[in-house]
Chains A and B, each alone.
Chain A
Amino acid sequence: MSGQGAPLGIIMLCHTALHRAAQVARFWLDAGCPVVIHLDRAVSHADRDAMRAALGAHPLVRFSPRHRCAWGSWQLVAATQDAAELMLRDFPQTGHVMLISGACLPLRPASELQAHLAAHPQTDFIESVAIEHAEWITGGLSEERFTLYFPFNWHKQRLAFDTFVDVQRKLGIRREIPRPLRPHMGSQWWCLTRKTLSAILTDPRRKRYDRYFRQNWIPDESYFQTLARVHAAQIDSRSLTLVKFDRNGRPNLFYDDHLQLLRRSDCFVARKIWPEANRLYDFFLSDQLARQPRLPAEPAKIDRYFELAEQQRREGRAGLYMQSRFPAHDSAAAKTAGPYSVFSGFDHLFENFEHWLGQVSGARAHGHLFASERVQFHGGARVWHGAISDSAAIRDYNPRMFLTNLLWAARGERQCFAYGPEDMMDHEVNWFMATDTNAEIQVIRGAWILPLWRRGVVSDAVVAEVARLQKREQLWLEVLESRWVLAKCKIWTVSEICAAPEQCLAMAVQDSANAAALTAHGLAQLYRLEGLPEFLTALRNQGLPPQNFKDFNF
């Protein structure tokens, strides 16, 4: 024992992995701390005997009366009360008493904890948050934990539990909170002074309080936390035990690979350790700990580590579609991994548009990704990031995932591509892009007619093709003009562009291009459109409806 102040008493609540609990008990005993062990009633006789044998007849060890402690039950409090009474009775020199579990592991030498307590002899270390401020509670119930009845087990009788809560709410049932208690909650694991603890246990109204808390939900997180507020002289509302809860309110386990993380904790004890984490037990229970240089405490780093994991579980990575994340339609915040631009018809009106766009934008400018014969990746590549093939057959087998794969694989780089009625237009993809906040869609209506015109003939086949593409474009534009659109859409007409090509182009690329490059490279040149009106007239005379060409007023 370090000799500073009164010894620290340890109460251990154990139910599984008793060999580990015995190891930890031994650690405290070696430091001169009396240990009172509570074994859950579910522990078999064989296991109990094995643990007793492992500890031997040590003068500082006691075993307290056994209870069956289900999660969140009153029995946990009762077991703690019994153990605490035993501790106070049998070890009158004890100063602070600390409550830990059998799956807790000390993170620092016992002498450090003793010194810390000796420096704060009157302080109770117990997380105790007034119920009206406790917003972190998992499970939705906060004040109602103290004012409703909870006869059913939340884990095993969930339906009955929920129904009973609802019924009580409807009936307006409200139990009276015994005066002068003000409900407080906090971590189950505390370290109280002898004075506070014995005041709680010998309170003349204890019977009344116990009867009341027996009906509460999860009293192990509120009994001592509330009563400490009545009896304590000075409360440090922070547990000395590190516990990180997951989304279901269960403590995260610590494994061997958390060693470096745990060394950065500012707590004295960590819960809960996976029983087979040999490296952690070897390190923290041996003198290795004292021999290693002390790392600076960075509790925020530990918080961050678990927050990130929780975030990944809850929100996932935007734009990722994979075996264990497959958001149903519109259920995820972002549908794709990053912003991208779709240019329809620009390559037909402007010379070398794709090349020029690549130069002025710093983005990746592809050709027609959905071209019917094959995928026109940038530079004519046969395979792209992620080993995405240029095969049209593979793309058309799952076009939406072709797009999301491309955006995921190239995340960090803005992707631009040409798309229009002349491509393999997929209705699902059209809707997907139109309702994607990452998409920017710039369309020049009717520009797809230009490649047909350049072929120079007006045959029945061309007329049929025009009619087909016209219909397809119409369907697409209906999507883009619908009220569900979330993408940034702009629809131009050929005549608008021809009237002011430079201004229109500069506006169309303002999201993807950067100003300096735009100045350096200038704007793309408009193709010459001489002879187009004659072509359109010929089409009209072949029987296509005249309103189809109303955009082409030169």
Chain B
Amino acid sequence: MLGQFRLRAERHMKLFRCLRKSAALRKRITRTDSIRPGDVLAFVVLRNELVRLPYFLEYYRAQGVRHFLMVDNGSDDGTAEYLERQRDVSLWTTQASYKGASFGVDWLNHLLWLYGVGHWVLVLDVDEFLVYPFCDTRPLSALTDWLDSQGRRSFGAMLLDMYPKGPISAQPYQSGQNPFEIARFFDSGNLGIRRNAPYQNLWIQGGVRQRVIMATQPKAAPALNKIPLVRWQRQYAYISSTHTLLPRALNKVYDDSGGEFASGVLLHAKFLDTILAKTREELTRAEHYAASREYQAYAASLAQGQDLWCEWSSEYINWRQLEILGLMSKGDWA
């Protein structure tokens, strides 16, 4: 009981905080009038991602995302100008600290509170590509209709780190290209999962980042559990990235009695040559989680030509392959 009060207080604090932090957001262009009831919306915070944007937008438009609500955190590579020209994008800009806004979560919560209510929302980074059961034959709205019919309000999709074979700099990424032509490989079965008691979500670590980059300090490996698709309500709030939500019932995207819930995967196109420049930039900015520990590790490994590939790496084919491997499930969505 006490725990519930504590969580409720935390949620209210979070919602209040996002209101406060939203003062830093400047409207660049809003086309939110064009949002229709029932549209699936995407919410994104980004910085200097011009090269990735064309494929990102194309990918999610094809899945049926109707509007993108984006926060540009001080890009200087033309990201904002590019997004301004897209007819289905509403754009806010801010020069404020990413870290100071709980790594962007405060801004997202605010926009979700304003525009997300009643919609299925996808909260994403530009290097995350959602794969869900039957995504090759059914649009996102088929999934969200089904989730509605099952009374589900959230849908889990774990991060799956994708990587190329050979040094990361060997295959440069071209704008508009499918990043998984280069980053074609992934680790299929080395995840560690534990229950995160207070929030009732699963805490998943592992994959290539733990195997290679954080091998000596596995505890510090980044969390891979994500809940990016939610039927938003005004009282909801993301707590840390899209790993954790409140109220905590939203975190229960797994069955604990032996069965399987339907779930998806966010293919993570982080390990492209673009990460090398990003690493240099982020280390000077120090705006990332845990003193940018992750980027320090990248500087020590990837920048030195470390190969992430191993003989048991799997090459990506499609969602059915991921399902057979046990990384995602169609549950009873037949």
Contact = CB atoms under 8 A, between A and B. Distances in A.
Contacts of B314: 387
B191 interface: yes
Given A313-B259, A313-B331, A324-B253, A256 B188 contact: no
A393 B187 CA distance: 18
A256 B137 contact: yes
A315 B217 CA distance: 35
Nearest to A388: B190
B218 interface: yes
A310 interface: yes
B112 interface: no
Given A326-B202, A389-B215, A247 B188 contact: no
Interface string A393-409: 11001100110010011
B284 interface: no
Nearest to B329: A324
A223 B330 CA distance: 36
Given A331-B256, A331-B257, A312 B190 contact: no
A316 B259 contact: yes
Contacts of B311: 383
Interface string A217-247: 0000000000000000000000000001011
Given A326-B254, A331-B258, A389-B190, A383 B310 contact: yes
B328 A385 contact: no
Interface in A247-280: 247-248, 250, 252-253, 255-257, 274, 276
B146 interface: yes
Contacts of A325: 254-255, 258-261, 329
B116 to A, nearest CB: 23
Interface in A423-464: none
* Most B CB within 10 A of own CB, among A316, A322, A401, A408: A322
Nearest to A395: B218
A327 B137 contact: no
A384 interface: yes
B1 to A, nearest CB: 21
Given A248-B150, A309-B332, A393-B218, A405 B256 contact: no
Interface in A330-389: 331-333, 382-389
A379 to B, nearest CB: 12
A257 B219 CA distance: 42
Contact of B326 (A276, A305, A320): A320
A504 to B, nearest CB: 35
B261 A322 contact: no
A385 B312 contact: yes
A541 interface: no
Contacts of B331: 309, 312-313, 324
Contacts of B194: 398
A314 interface: yes
Contacts of A315: 258-259
Contacts of A314: 258-259, 332
B183 to A, nearest CB: 15
B190 A327 contact: no
Given A313-B260, A386-B190, A387-B188, A323 B142 contact: no
B76 to A, nearest CB: 37
Interface in A404-425: 405, 408-409
Interface in B281-332: 310-314, 326-332
24 contacts: A253-B142, A309-B332, A309-B333, A310-B332, A312-B332, A313-B332, A314-B332, A321-B193, A323-B193, A323-B328, A324-B253, A325-B255, A331-B257, A333-B258, A383-B211, A383-B312, A387-B189, A387-B312, A387-B313, A387-B314, A388-B189, A394-B206, A398-B205, A401-B191
* 3 closest Cβ pairs, A-B complex: A386-B189, A313-B332, A398-B192
Interface of A: 244, 246-248, 250, 252-253, 255-257, 274, 276, 305-306, 308-310, 312-317, 320-328, 331-333, 382-389, 391, 393-394, 397-398, 401-402, 405, 408-409
Given A324-B262, A398-B192, 5 more contacts: A317-B326, A323-B225, A323-B327, A324-B329, A387-B189
